[in-house]
Amino acid sequence: MNDKLENNWYASSDNVLSKTIGQFIKHHRIKQQLTQQDVANRANISRSTLSLLERGETVTVSTLLQVLRALNVLHIMDAFTITEPISPIALAKKEHAEKQRIRHKNKQQNENELEW
């Protein structure tokens, strides 16, 4: 795929980014020994649309997602997961709020409950 260990995505043009996505798709298709028609059928798109994607041409996000699903590589969506870091103080407050003491009823209430 891409031999660079470190990419400067911000310095890359949209064209370069699209071609990188296309290379990713093509790499995984070939690795799985699938033809363009096989993947297109799985993704419910035309073979020419898949060819456009692999060449880095413009396709819809929906098409990209269909192809990723067809290739079983949707795990790359993990990169889009939003995780909010929690500060140590906020974590301590949360843990403190979760801790609650178990309070026993007073002795007289316990004795009354035992009498029937």
Q: Which residue has the higher pLDDT, 97 or 15?
A: 15
Per-residue pLDDT tens for 19-69? 999 999 999 999 999 999 999 999 999 999 999 999 999 999 999 999 999
Q: Is the pTM of this model over 0.75?
A: no
The pLDDT score that the predictor gives to residue 37 is: 97
Task: Give the chain as a 3 state SS string.
Answer: CCCCCCCCHHHCCHHHHHHHHHHHHHHHHHHCCCCHHHHHHHHCCCHHHHHHHHHCCCCCHHHHHHHHHHCCCHHHHHHHCCCCCCCHHHHHHHHHHHCCCCCCCCHHHHHHHHCC
Superfamily of domain 9-86: lambda repressor-like DNA-binding domains (1.10.260.40)
